[in-house]
Amino acid sequence: FCFYTINGTQLFYMQHKLDYSAQSAQSIILVLQSACYLSCLPGGVLGDKVGKYRTILFFAIAYFAGCLAVTLSTDPSVKSAPLFLIGSFAGLAIGSGGIKPNVPNFGADQIDKEEERSAFFSYFYWAINIGSAVALGF
């Protein structure tokens, strides 16, 4: 839920709490989303080179650190735009880049039968999309 929850609330938070203009906030969010998906390219290559498990573990730690930084930055006593942006870009973008391309393949590697592997991808796809819908409030 973290990725979609943060993406779904960033615009409001950046405009109303960090005093960014609508255009600036939207531009930052678009760059962040681009960084999240572009970082999947080196994340996938790294998963092939050093192994999916190690890659997922390392990038999950970075992702958690980013989530923690974003969370701390929203505390009214902290309210730090630099911490929010560093957590978003250094933690979430880089972390998701190692997680997104490797988790589905790592999960599928655990299943031997082709028919069950196909069902795994269907269930995985639905779980991701239902989770994003819940996180975005639909």
Per-residue pLDDT band at 135 (split at 50, 70, 90)? confident
Kindly tell me if the per-residue pLDDT of 136 is higher than 80. Answer: no
Average pLDDT of every residue of the chain = 91
Give me the percent of the chain exceeding a pLDDT of 90: 70
Per-residue pLDDT band at 3 (split at 50, 70, 90)? confident
Largest CA distance in the chain: 53
Lowest mean pLDDT among 3-7, 12-16, 62-66: 3-7
Q: Which residue has the tokens 């255009």?
A: 23
Per-residue pLDDT band at 128 (split at 50, 70, 90)? confident
- For position 138, what pLDDT does the model report? 62
Q: What is the pLDDT of residues 75-94, one digit of tens each?
A: 999 989 999 999 998 999 99
Kindly tell me if the per-residue pLDDT of 112 is higher than 60. Answer: yes
Kindly tell me if the per-residue pLDDT of 16 is higher than 70. Answer: yes
- For position 1, what pLDDT does the model report? 57
